[in-house]
Amino acid sequence: MRRIFTGLFVATVAVSSVGCSYGSMVAHDGKIYVARNDNFLFGALRKLYECTPSAGSMACVQIKGRP
């Protein structure tokens, strides 16, 4: 029984710390902004990307110093 509880605890911690989700996307003046909100440490590792679409590809750059 102890192994089952230990296994469930480890699985719960692993699943909650690995996943991330893209919280929002917005387009403004021909650029696309993507906010990557993670679930680890209540969003402490949040990042913002500025993407410029072109013919057949998209170039993204991380914006530093912003939430």
* Res. 55: pLDDT tops 70: yes
Q: What is the pLDDT of residue 61?
A: 87
Q: Note whether residue 46 is domain-resident.
A: yes
Q: List Cα–Cα distances, 21 to 11, 24, 26, 29, in angstroms.
A: 19, 9, 15, 25
Q: Report the residue count for the chain.
A: 67
pLDDT digits (tens, 9 = 90+) for 4-46: 878 787 877 666 555 555 567 888 888 888 887 766 666 667 7
Query: What pLDDT does 39 receive?
Result: 64
* Cα gap 55→19, rounded to integer Å: 31
Q: Which two tokens stand for residue 50?
A: 């500025």
Residue 37 near residue 25, CB atoms below 8 Å: no
pLDDT value of residue 49: 85
- What is the pTM assigned to this prediction? 0.55
Domain containing 59: what range? 20-67
Give the C-alpha separation, 57 to 18, whole Å.
Answer: 28
Tell me whether residue 48 is in a domain: yes
Residue 25 lies in a domain: yes
